[in-house]
Amino acid sequence: MSDSYQEEFWAYCARQELCLQQCENCGELRYPPAALCAHCLSEKFIWQSVEGRGTLISGVVFHHAFRPELADRIPYGIGLVELNEGVRMVTAIVDSDLSALTAGRKVSLRFIPDRNGRLLPCFRIVD
Ligand SMILES: [Zn+2]
């Protein structure tokens, strides 16, 4: 089984587009990219672009770079974000007041380059 879906996901990010896999069998959106639908185990999917807006479920601030690609951004926030489409993503929270990572804050997608120039989907607080 190929994992080309990983490459495709990052190719969309490179164009500053957040696309998630949507199961062709049951319609469920999923993230992170995976070979099978967790609901029905189907391998069939299409790419569905999402709006990039959502709500913070919870967040924490890291003072150590557990993710090396974010080493230049210490301290940084990591949040559990629920997209308006219903999918939850663990993601970096950037360009935001990190003392305000509380549940219910509205967030918006922002692509941030890592050290290798790859664009990472991150979110910032917008309310
Ligand atoms: Zn499915």
Distance 20 CA to ligand 1 centre (A): 13
Dist. CA 46–CA 121, nearest whole Å: 19
Residue ranges with CB less than 5 Å from ion ligand 1? 23, 25-26, 28, 37, 39-40, 42
Residue 1 scores a pLDDT above 70:
no
What is the CATH architecture assignment of 53-125? Answer: Beta Barrel (2.40)
CB atoms within 10 A of CB 93: 25
Distance 36 CA to ligand 1 centre (A): 8
Distance 42 CA to ligand 1 centre (A): 5
Q: Among residues 61, 53, 70, 62, which one has the least CA distance to residue 100?
A: 61
Backbone angles phi, psi at 13, to 5 degrees: -60, -40
Structure confidence by residue, pLDDT tens digits, 17-68 = 999 999 999 999 999 999 999 999 999 999 999 999 999 999 999 888 777 7
Kindly report the CA angle at 124 between 120 and 127, in degrees rounded to 5?
Answer: 160
Any idea where the domains of the chain sit in the sequence?
4-49, 53-125
